[in-house]
Structures are given as structure tokens and as C-alpha cells.
Amino acid sequence: MNVTPKRPLVGTKVRVWTTERGTIAPSSAEVSATLVNVMFDVTGETRALPLSSLEVPRVHRPLQWIPLAGDRAADDPEFHFPVVRNGMDYLLSVLEFLDEPTARDIKYAVLHLQAGTEVLLKWPLARRDWRLVVEVNKEGEICDEAHFQRGDFRSIGIPAARRLLKDKLGIAISNRDFRAIKALAEYRNRLQHFGMAGLAAAPVAAIEARAVKVLDFLLDFIHNHLRPHLDAGDSHHVDEQMELVRAGLNRVKALVELRMERVRSDLAAGAPWAVECPQCGQFAMVVDADQAKVECRFCHGAWSSQDAADVYVDAVLKTSTFMSVKDGGEPPVVSCIECAEETLFPRIVVASDRSGTTARCFTCDLIADLVLCDTCGHWMYEDETGMCDSCLSWGQGD
């Protein structure tokens, strides 16, 4: 029963439950209810966990206060599970699955985080007008409200939700946050179509790093755009759940940051020039010019120089040469002025310069500040003439 009863009164003694090898077992101690933050009803018994332990029982259900079996009847008018509470439970479940995860845990972490993201992003739209979250059918029609209330409808996707949030409510989701959400959706799609084999190329480190970015975004989204519109009961519930989410997220963040510190130490002088990995989103991707490959020191993703350039344009920049030129811009990747391979990014974001003014080649590892030739428009090293070597040679020959 996914409902929220009152917490035990201050001073009430409750049994503490811990985990050993994934199995829940009672301890011999009792603690004050003021130290308890989680209860479970798995077998009809109250199970509690002390806040100070910062551990999550490895039971695959949402973390919340749950009454003993039979405490609340299904026909109770307060027996309900609002959308926001459902979304919060998904997030808590994600953090449970990411705590020393098995392969099965990773699968459910991805599925639950994607589901929670969709639920929470669409809630402000549904609150404004339920029709905003209903997908139009081939005849240009949507379901009636009765079907909507029963859940008998096809909902819009996250890209449409992002557009409507901005157009209808003025809520903007940054490109960086949207990239993290899209990467998560791609993991979910792989799972749905290929099962665990779909995540074979995505190590746990990459999924954890992506999850941290999405959870970080959702915490701000909930605080800024959901909580102000909740009633007192839901606000209190969300505040309690947010405390648990932050605690769990900080544990995962600590693991990610510890790994990044090792990566920075390993990269040494090259750390400032690392670029964003299209697989995990960390600034830990570097060029191995001797082997003509690009690899991420965080998640160990590796590509040939050309493949890395193609994947970076698609997954990080979310564009293509055709789209960039069509819109009046410069191609995102061009022929390198040193090695002539088409793997030079004239403007790329690196760890030490998020303004995106550095040039870097994924083949020869050129790192420089480049400008466009005033005459031919090709990239060149900056000098007082404003002309590239080819144009200077042509001018002198003429």
C-alpha cells in the first residue's frame, strides 16, 4: 500500500533493520523514532532504518513511510498515490539501485529514472491543462477527460514536454540538462529493445555519472517548479523525500567525484584540455595521437579518431555539419590545419575553458586558438595579416 501514515511519536522505540548480503535482518538494538527515516511493509511487519547509518535496504520497492497491512482500506478517500509522490518514489528507488549495483540493479535504475523524469516534467503541464500531456492521434484528436483520468491515453514524449514547458509555462530546460536526459532515454531504449545486452557498451560508471546529472537537474526542477504548487500534505511529503534523495545522491556523487579525482591525477597536465565524453558526460576524454584513437579515462569508452568526431557531433553537440551550415553557422568539425584529417573542432569546450573557444583535433591532438582567414574563410593560426598560408602564397604568386 503506497500511502503515507504519520511518523512514530518522538521517543517511540522501533526495531532497527539492517542488511547483510542483500538480505534484510533485524538487529538486537532499539532506537528512538527521532533517528528513523525509512519504514517498509514487506511482509506485514514494520521495518525501520536509522538515519545515521545512511544505508538503504536492498529491497526493490520505493523508499517511503508505509503502514502495516490493513491499516488503511482501499476505499479510504485519502487512499491515493499522487503523481508527484509517484515521481519522488521513482527517484528514491533509483538511488537504492545505484548503491553497489548489480547488473539487474543498473537496469532498474535506468528504467525508474527515465519514468520518474517523465512523470515530474509533465506534472506542471498537466496541472495547467491535462490536454497538454496527451498526444494527438492520426486524426488530429485527443482523448476525452474520462479516458485521461483512467490513464487510457498516449502521453507526449520528453522533447515535446520540454517545448511545451517553455512555450506554455516559461520553464526552460538548458541544452546541457536536456543532453543528460536524452542520454538516459537512449539507455532506456537500448534496454527495451535489447535487454541487458543493450547496456554492454555503457559501463556502470557512465550510467552513474549520467544519473547524477539528471538527478541534480530534477532536484532543482522540483524545488523551483513543482513544490510551490503542491498542497500542504504533498509539500511535507516532498520535503521529506527530498532529504532522502539528497542523502542518496550525495553518496553517488561522492563515488563519481572520487573517480574523477583519480582521473585528473592520471591525466596530470592534460586534465585541463579533456573534453566531454559522449558516453558518460564527464570531462575525461583525451586524444591518443600515437594510436589515432580517443578514449575516456572515466568510463573507458574508446573510439577511433574519426568515429569519436562523429559521435561527439551527434551526442554532445546534438547537430550535424548539414544542420550547422543550413542554419548559417560554421561546420562543427573540419579538416585539421596540421594533419589534414577531418577531425578538427575549431571551437570546442574543454575542462579548463567552458566558453568553447579552444580548437582541438581528435587525430593529431592539436590544441590551439584559431581564427578564420579573412580571405578564404578557412581556419588558421592568428597573425597580423589575417590571411592563411594558402592565401598568402596565392597573393604573392599573383
Does residue 119 lie in a domain region? yes
In this prediction, residue 274 carries a pLDDT of 92
Give the H or E element holding residue 18. strand 13-20
Residues 43 and 145 in one domain: no
Residues 202 and 300 in one domain: no
Does residue 268 lie in a domain region? no
- Record the cell numbers describing residue 101, joined without a space: 549495483
Distance CA 83, CA 87 (A): 6
Does residue 269 lie in a domain region? no
Return the residue matching grid coordinates 484528436: 141
Instruction: Please measure the distance between the N-terminal and C-terminal CA atoms of the chain and give it in whole angstroms.
Output: 85
Distance CA 371, CA 306 (A): 23
The total number of structural domains that make up the chain:
3
When mean pLDDT is compared across 2-6, 162-166, 353-357, the lowest value belongs to: 2-6
* pTM metric for this prediction: 0.59
Give the distance from CA 43 to its chain's centroid.
34
CA angle centred on 281, ends 208 and 276, rounded to 5°? 150
Distance CA 201, CA 347 (A): 28
Residues 108 and 232 in one domain: yes
Distance CA 2, CA 17 (A): 20
Query: Residues 119-148: pLDDT tens digits?
Result: 899 988 988 888 998 888 888 888 888 888
In this prediction, residue 127 carries a pLDDT of 85
Query: Residues 271-284: pLDDT tens digits?
Result: 889 999 988 888 99
Range(s) of the domain holding residue 291? 274-397
Tell me what the pLDDT averaged over the chain comes to.
75
Residues 353 and 334 in one domain: yes
Residues 71 and 159 in one domain: no
Distance CA 61, CA 63 (A): 7
Give the H or E element holding residue 381. strand 379-381
Residues 161 and 294 in one domain: no
